[in-house]
Amino acid sequence: MKNLVKYARNGDADAFAELMQSQMQNMYKTAAAILHNDEDIADAVGDTLLACWEKIGQLKKAEFFRTWMTKILINKCNDILRRKRELYYDEEMQEFPEDVQEYSKIEWMEMMKCLDEKYRLVMVLYYVDGLSAVEISGMLDMPASTVRTRLARGRDQMASIYQIGEKRRAVNGGRV
């Protein structure tokens, strides 16, 4: 990845495209932790790609690419969220879409839905993007201790939800 970043910094659009395509899974999951419909996520991802291309020359070290890109993506997601809230705040917006087709995505979205909103992004940044608590703290402008607390609580929440789920499945399995 480091070489792709170097090529991209030198204006190689093919390398940039390859680099960003390799980040699509992570970008989607991060954006889905903040935004709640795929159209908005598509806008945020599109805006992020343009911003990254415009600014990648300013990225001093290739090693920082992931955190730098994720920070831009989060800002773009927050911009969209802010605009939407200004236009029409609606509790319904907080629900994930019902029209998702792919099973893997439904399961993943359901899992996100079970997590309290304030834990979602921190959990995705830590477990999906592989960022450390310190990096997340810098990215979200919150103390590292808060990040660690949210991670711990997010883990507890997921664990309890899935324990309940597993127990339910076991009971249902017994009946059949």
Partner 1 sequence: MKKDRIAERLQETIVVPDIVQQRADLVLAQIRKESIAEREGGKQMRYAGRRMWAAVAAAVLVLGLGTVACAVYLHWSRGMEEWFDATPEQKEYLEETRITVPMNDSVTQEGVTVTAQQRIVDARFVYLSFRIDGYRVEDGIEPCFEYVDTTVNGEPVNIMGGHFFDNLHRDADGNITYTDGTTAKETADGSIIGKYVGEDGSMEYLMTLMTADGRSLIGQPLHIEFRNLGIVSKAAYTPDIEAAWTFDFTLEASEQVRSIELSQPVGDSGATITKVEISPISLYAEFDFPMQTVPIEGIDQNGNTIQSTTFAEVPGLVGVRLKDGTRLTGIMQGGSDGYDGDDQDTYIVSRGIDRIIDPAEVDALLFMKEGAETNEEYYNMPEEKLYIVTF
| Residue placing its CB nearer to partner 1 in the complex, 91 or 164 | 164
How far is residue 97's CA from residue 148's CA, in Å, rounded to a whole number? 30
> Tokens standing for 34?
């903040």
| Residue placing its CB nearer to partner 1 in the complex, 71 or 93 | 71
| Residue placing its CB nearer to partner 1 in the complex, 91 or 130 | 130
List alpha helices for the chain, DSSP H. Answer: 2-9, 13-21, 24-32, 38-55, 65-87, 103-114, 117-127, 133-140, 144-175
Residue 165: Cβ within 10 Å count: 13
| Residue placing its CB nearer to partner 1 in the complex, 85 or 134 | 134
Shortest Cβ 176–partner 1 spacing (Å): 24
List the one residue out of 33, 72, 39, 77 whose CA is nearest residue 53.
72
List the one residue out of 78, 160, 167 whose CA is nearest residue 121.
78
Shortest Cβ 162–partner 1 spacing (Å): 4
| Residue placing its CB nearer to partner 1 in the complex, 93 or 111 | 111
Question: Which residues make up the interface to partner 1 (CB under 8 A)?
Answer: 1-4, 6-7, 9-18, 20-21, 24-25, 28-29, 38-39, 41-43, 45-46, 49-50, 53, 61, 63-64, 67, 71, 100, 102, 104-105, 107-108, 111, 123-124, 127-128, 132, 134-135, 137-139, 155, 158-159, 162-163
Instruction: Count CA atoms closer than 13 A to 175's CA, side-chain side.
Output: 5
Shortest Cβ 173–partner 1 spacing (Å): 18
Shortest Cβ 93–partner 1 spacing (Å): 17
